[in-house]
A and B are shown apart, each in its own frame.
Chain A
Amino acid sequence: MCENCSCGNDHNHDHDHDQNVLIPQRGKIINIVEETSDTKTFSISTIDDKKPFDPQPGQLGMLSLGNVGEAIFSVTNKGENHIEMAIKAVGELTNALHEVEVGQEVGIRGAYGNGFPLDFCKGKDLLFIGGGIGLAPVRSLIMHCIRNRDDYGKLTVIYGARSKADLCFKEDLFENWPKVPNMDVFVTIDREEEGWDGHVGFVPSYVEELALKPQVTVVCGPPIMIKFTLPGLQKMGYADTDIITTLEMRMKCGVGKCGRCNIGSKYVCLDGPVFTLAEMKDLPQEY
C-alpha cells in the first residue's frame, strides 16, 4: 500500500493530493545532450530550480510544450535539482522538442507508474539488456544501482544499436560504467563499420553468445528485439519472474482515467510500465 497517503494505491508514490494531477508544473529545460542524430537527453527543472518530482527508477513523466502538446516519457535519470528524459524524434511533439534550446519552458508532471521492483532486485546480480532508445528506462535503474552500489550484486549491461552513431549514452557506456566496481558493459552494433573494433551482431544472439548465468534481467528495446531475446533467456534457464521489461502504450492522462493505455484490465500508466514476463503472460497479447 502507498505509505504516503491513504489513496489505496498498491505502491508508494509521491503526489500532492491538493494539486490537480492533470495540470503540470511550470518547468524549464536546463541541459540538452545530443545522444544520436535523432535522440536527445533533456534535463528538466522547475522554474525555481527544483526537481519537478522525485521519480523511482522506471517511473514516467508527462512533458509538454505549451503550443504543441503533451506526451509521456520514461525518466532516464534524476539529479539533485532535475530529472532527465531521453527522447527520440518520432512525432509532432518530439520533433518540436528537438528544435528547442536550453532555457525553454515546459510543462512537467509526474511521477507516474510502478517503477522497477527495487526491493526484489536488492542484493542480486542484475543483467540489463537494451537496444536503441530502449536503454532509456533501464538507465534510471542502472544509475540507481550505481548510486547505491553496495545494495546490489554484479551489474552487467548488454546494449546494442544499428550502428556506432545510433548508440545512446556513449559517455556512460564507454567512460563511466566500465569504471564502476564489479560492473561489465558489452556493446554491439548490427553491422560491421569502419572504426568499430567491438562486437558486431544483434542483441538477442549476443545475449546467447555471452551465456551469462541466470539472474534478474531487465530487457528494454524495440518489440522485435524483446521478441527474439526472451526465448533465448528462457532456453538458458532464466525464470519468468526474473525477467523484467517495460511496456508502452499511448497515454493522455498518466493517472488511469483517460482509458487508452489498458492491456486487458491493467493500465500501463498505473500498473506498469514495469512488468515481469510472468505478469505479461497473464495479459492479452495486445501491445
Chain B
Amino acid sequence: MLVVLKAKLKDILNTLAEEYKVLVPAKIEDTSKFISYKDNVDIILDENVKLSPKDVFFPQTEKMYKMKTVKTSMELENITDEAGKKLLFGVRSCDMKSLDCFDQVFLTKGYIDEFYKNKRDSVVTIALSCSQPMQTCFCSAMGVDSQKAVGADVQAYDLGDKIGLEAISDEGSKVIELIKGQLTEEGAEVPQPGEFYLKVDADGVSEKLNGMFESPIWDDVSKKCLNCGACTYVCPTCHCFDISQEVRGENVTKYRCWDSCMFGEYTQMAGGHNPRPTKKERVRNRFMHKLNYFPDRYNMLLCTGCGRCINVCPVNLDITSVIKQIKEAE
C-alpha cells in the first residue's frame, strides 16, 4: 500500500491544491466542518467533523436563477456555477454513504437535479477510514463499512502515524499519480475498526415498520421532540428543500434552501389544510422516511449511522433507541 506520514500530509495537500480546490475536515469557530485547505488550517484526523460535507453538494442556501420584473414583463437570467474541480479529503464512510443516498434522490426517477449534478461531477473524493468510533457512531448497524467507503475515488486508511492510500476510480488514479513521488510503498494491511460504544440491531426494521403507521409508539417517540429541526440540518442524508425568492425592487433572485419536515409550514397548504398538523405526524414522517419509505423507494436506508442527530438533539431523542422501540413493539 502507498503510505505517507501524517506529519507529511500537508505536503501532499499542497501538491493537490495546485490542481484542485482542496477541502479538508478542520476545527473552526468551536465546531468542525470541511473548509478550504490552507497551510494553517487545523485538520482533524482523529474524529469525524460535526457538520457533514453535504453543503458542498447541496448548499444550505443556493441561488438558482434571477428574474427582472418590470411592470408586466419578467425576464429570466441563469446563474452559472463556480467552475473548477474540487477535492474533498477525509470523508468518512458514513458521509460517503449519504452521497449515495443523495445520488438516488437527485439523479434518478426521471429527473436530474442539475444544480446537484454540476457540483457532484466537479468533486473528487478521498475517503478516510475510522480507527476508533465516536460515542454516537453506529454506522456498521446501518450497513456501512467504516474501513471502506462506497463511491470514493481514493480510499485512505488511518494507520496510526501514517495514512495509506488506494486509488479506487480512474479519477482517483489521477490523484495518486499527482502525489506518487511523495508516497512510499509499504506492506500495510487494511486496519481493523475499534469496538462500537453504541450498539443497535437494525436488521428487519424497514419490514417491521410496514404495519406500524398507526402504532402508539409514535405518541411516545414524539412526546419530547421540540420540532427544532436541528437533527435534519446536521443529518448528512436529509435533503428536503424550500424554494423562495429575494425581491429587491425589480430584481428577483430565486433560491433554494434547506427545509425540515419538523416544521409545520413544510406541508401547510394555501387553503389551510395541513396533512401533518402536529409533531406526532412530523416525527413519524421523519423516522418512517429514513427507515421505511426511503428503503421502499430506493432500496437503501436513509440513515448512515453518523450519530450527528443524537449529538445535537436538545432532548436526547436518539434514533437508535427509536429503532429498538420499533423492533420491540408488538
Q: A interface vs B, CB < 8 Å? A: 2, 7-9, 13, 15, 17, 20-24, 26, 65-67, 69-71, 90-94, 100-101, 103-107, 223, 248-250, 252-253, 255-260, 262-265, 270, 284-287
Contacts and interface: CB of A to CB of B under 8 A. Distances in A.
A262 B289 contact: yes
Contacts of A284: 213
- Per CB-CB distance, the 9 closest pairs between chain A and chain B, nearest first, are A91-B270, A259-B240, A9-B110, A66-B69, A105-B74, A255-B111, A265-B296, A265-B293, A20-B114
A253 B239 CA distance: 12
Interface stretch (B5-13, B49-57, B144-152, B244-252): B244-252
Contacts of B171: none
B244 A26 contact: no
B302 to A, nearest CB: 11
Contact of B241 (A8, A106, A256, A259): A259
B286 to A, nearest CB: 11
Contacts of A106: 74
A23 B76 contact: yes
Interface in B249-273: 252, 256, 259, 261, 266-273
Nearest to B243: A252
Contacts, number: 137
B243 A13 contact: no
A259 B244 contact: no
21 contacts: A9-B109, A20-B78, A21-B114, A65-B74, A66-B67, A66-B68, A69-B245, A104-B72, A249-B267, A249-B275, A250-B266, A253-B241, A256-B110, A257-B113, A257-B239, A259-B240, A259-B261, A260-B259, A260-B261, A270-B109, A286-B285
B57 to A, nearest CB: 13
B252 A70 contact: no
B261 A21 contact: no
Contacts of B105: 256-257
Nearest to A258: B241
Contacts of B115: 20, 22
A287 B242 contact: no
B244 A69 contact: yes
Nearest to B110: A9
Contacts of B271: 90-91
Contact of B293 (A13, A93, A262): A262
A47 B69 CA distance: 14
Contacts of A7: 110-111
A262 B282 CA distance: 12
A45 B122 CA distance: 36
Contacts of B15: none
B20 interface: no
Contacts of A94: 270
Given A264-B293, A286-B276, A286-B285, 19 more contacts: A2-B110, A8-B110, A20-B114, A24-B76, A65-B74, A66-B67, A100-B72, A104-B72, A249-B267, A252-B241, A252-B259, A258-B243, A258-B259, A260-B259, A260-B261, A260-B267, A262-B289, A262-B293, A285-B213
Contacts of A264: 213, 288, 293, 296
Interface residues of B, number: 53
Given A93-B270, A259-B241, A8 B69 contact: no
Contacts of B285: 262, 286
Nearest to B239: A259
A287 B74 contact: no
Given A8-B108, A106-B74, A258 B240 contact: yes
Nearest to A105: B74
Contacts of A259: 239-241, 259, 261
A257 B111 contact: yes
Contact of B109 (A23, A71, A256): A256
Interface in B52-73: 64-65, 67-69, 72-73
Interface string B276-297: 1000010001001100111011
Nearest to A70: B243
B121 interface: no
Nearest to A20: B114
B276 A8 contact: no
A15 B110 CA distance: 9
A229 to B, nearest CB: 18
Contacts of A258: 240-243, 256, 259
Nearest to B247: A67
A13 B239 contact: no
A71 B270 contact: yes
Best-surrounded residue of A65, A70, A249, A256 (most CB of chain B within 10 A): A256
Contacts of A8: 108-110
Contact of A255 (B74, B110, B297): B110
A260 B266 contact: yes
Given A69-B244, A248-B269, A286-B281, A26 B296 contact: no
A30 B72 CA distance: 12
Contact of A107 (B76, B213, B256, B297): B76
Contacts of B239: 257, 259
B195 interface: no
Interface in B173-231: 213
